[in-house]
A and B are shown apart, each in its own frame.
Chain A
């Protein structure tokens, strides 16, 4: 190897090293920033009242009840470790809530309904807003994508497009925007019976 080529190689290695260190420091800087504790993400979300269900007949149900039955078993989303965490009468119970119930005893409480609502709308807050305001279809949300198997879902397919569960949840999601609308409690009731 010639002396000139050797000098060139050494210079190239030094240059690469400097570039690597700079890149690491440049990348680490923003990563070490402290998150702004005052920052909030505002969510324009579907109605809580319709999530729980109002003035329901014996054959109707709210969205929360459908999620409790279809998604919230203790071996699925009725677990504290799930990002989508569902509480309910037959699944996970809210600790230090208004009842301190055990699974299978006592109806789903107001605290548990509120926790379910926050879990659902907070899963993808920005997308939830865009879906509710009609900019995106419900299929943009993991809440719909996973049970439809459009994305990997360890629990497999839970419903199919157009069935009662799908119509129940999507009618609630799409109850905002210009078109307006309301949750289809009849479909929710049918889904809760499946």
Chain B
């Protein structure tokens, strides 16, 4: 019997190990729960480019929370609608120029106005309110659609979730027990309300409810 001595060059070892490591990394999903949450939101809607008008009513911070895939990070973000839209004949319609008033656990308020755009979307970036929010956070929404003066305060606090629509979902008979419904200014819907800005580049009715580009 003879002893065999096998030697490999560093390049040979690298060629062997690197593809294996790459395969392992590709097979591993760092956070499958996050990936599933992102995938559940579906693809972008044709005709609505990525940007401030897209995905109204969806949980913004799922993608914009720092884990990706969006590169812009939001601390709190959501969509304000006109009415509760709990009648099939009155779809949710986003409200523009609504003020979102926030106060966190240290009684701090954002130093800048937080206002919805014409599809109802609003967002706060970390640099907009440095070091905040410290949860829990209290919220009030004010707006003047159709020459009215509407204000509504959330009855409880935001505990830790920066996405309004993680809790504020379109109510159905499958989720009614765990959602207070969409964030809405008016307690009732108005069939005549068509949005706050006729020049809005995107229909303020979300695509899933008959709206779209």
Q: Is A79 within 8 A of B155, CB to CB?
A: no
Question: Total A-B pairs in contact (CB under 8 Å)?
Answer: 58
CB distance from A80 to the nearest CB of B (A): 7
Complex formed: what's the CA distance from A145 to B178 in Å? Answer: 27
Q: Verify if A169 is at the interface (C-beta below 8 Å from B).
A: no
Binds A, one of B23-31, B88-96, B110-118, B159-167: B159-167
Q: If the complex has contacts A90-B156, A95-B177, A155-B160, are A74 and B171 also in contact, measured as CB distance less than 8 A?
A: no
Q: If the complex has contacts A1-B3, A102-B171, A155-B135, are A73 and B158 also in contact, measured as CB distance less than 8 A?
A: yes
Residues on the A chain within 8 Å of B157, using CB: 73
Residues on the B chain within 8 Å of A80, using CB: 178
Which residues 65-81 in A have Cβ within 8 Å of B in the complex?
69, 73-76, 78-80
CB distance from B184 to the nearest CB of A (A): 12
Q: Verify if B1 is at the interface (C-beta below 8 Å from A).
A: yes
Q: Which residue of B lies closest to A103 (CB)?
A: B180
Q: If the complex has contacts A92-B177, A102-B177, A103-B180, are A76 and B159 also in contact, measured as CB distance less than 8 A?
A: yes
Q: Verify if B66 is at the interface (C-beta below 8 Å from A).
A: no
Complex formed: what's the CA distance from A90 to B161 in Å? Answer: 16
Q: Which residue of A lies closest to B163 (CB)?
A: A75
Q: Verify if B201 is at the interface (C-beta below 8 Å from A).
A: no
Q: Verify if B140 is at the interface (C-beta below 8 Å from A).
A: no
**How many residues of chain B have a CB within 8 Å of chain A?**
20
Residues on the B chain within 8 Å of A69, using CB: 156
Q: Is A74 within 8 A of B155, CB to CB?
A: no
Residues on the B chain within 8 Å of A93, using CB: 176-178
A154's contact among B136, B160, B171, by CB below 8 Å, is which? B160
Q: Verify if A100 is at the interface (C-beta below 8 Å from B).
A: yes
Q: If the complex has contacts A104-B180, A155-B135, A156-B135, are A75 and B167 also in contact, measured as CB distance less than 8 A?
A: yes
Q: Is A94 within 8 A of B177, CB to CB?
A: yes
Complex formed: what's the CA distance from A101 to B136 in Å? Answer: 24
Chain A contact residues: helix, strand, loop or mixed: loop
B155's contact among A76, A90, A92, by CB below 8 Å, is which? A90
CB distance from A115 to the nearest CB of B (A): 12
Q: Verify if A46 is at the interface (C-beta below 8 Å from B).
A: no
Give the most central of A75, A78, A80, A94: most B CB within 10 Å.
A75
Q: Verify if B179 is at the interface (C-beta below 8 Å from A).
A: yes
CB distance from B194 to the nearest CB of A (A): 27
Q: Which residue of A lies closest to B178 (CB)?
A: A92
Q: Is A102 within 8 A of B3, CB to CB?
A: no
Q: Is A75 within 8 A of B161, CB to CB?
A: yes
Residues on the A chain within 8 Å of B1, using CB: 1
B176's contact among A90, A91, A102, by CB below 8 Å, is which? A102
Q: Is B155 within 8 A of A75, CB to CB?
A: no
Complex formed: what's the CA distance from A17 to B157 in Å? Answer: 58
Q: Is A91 within 8 A of B135, CB to CB?
A: no
Q: Is B158 within 8 A of A104, CB to CB?
A: no
Residues on the A chain within 8 Å of B181, using CB: 102
Q: If the complex has contacts A74-B167, A74-B178, A100-B177, are A91 and B156 also in contact, measured as CB distance less than 8 A?
A: yes
Residues on the A chain within 8 Å of B177, using CB: 92-95, 100-103
A75's contact among B3, B166, B171, B176, by CB below 8 Å, is which? B166
Mark B1-41 against chain A: 1 for CB-CB distance below 8 A, else 0. 10100000000000000000000000000000000000000
Q: Which residue of A lies closest to B134 (CB)?
A: A156
Mark B164-201 against chain A: 1 for CB-CB distance below 8 A, else 0. 00110001000011111100000000000000000000
Jot down 8 A-B pairs with beta carbons below 8 A, ordered by A: A73-B159, A74-B159, A74-B166, A78-B178, A95-B177, A102-B171, A102-B181, A156-B160
B residues near A (Cβ < 8 Å) are: 1, 3, 135-136, 155-161, 166-167, 171, 176-181
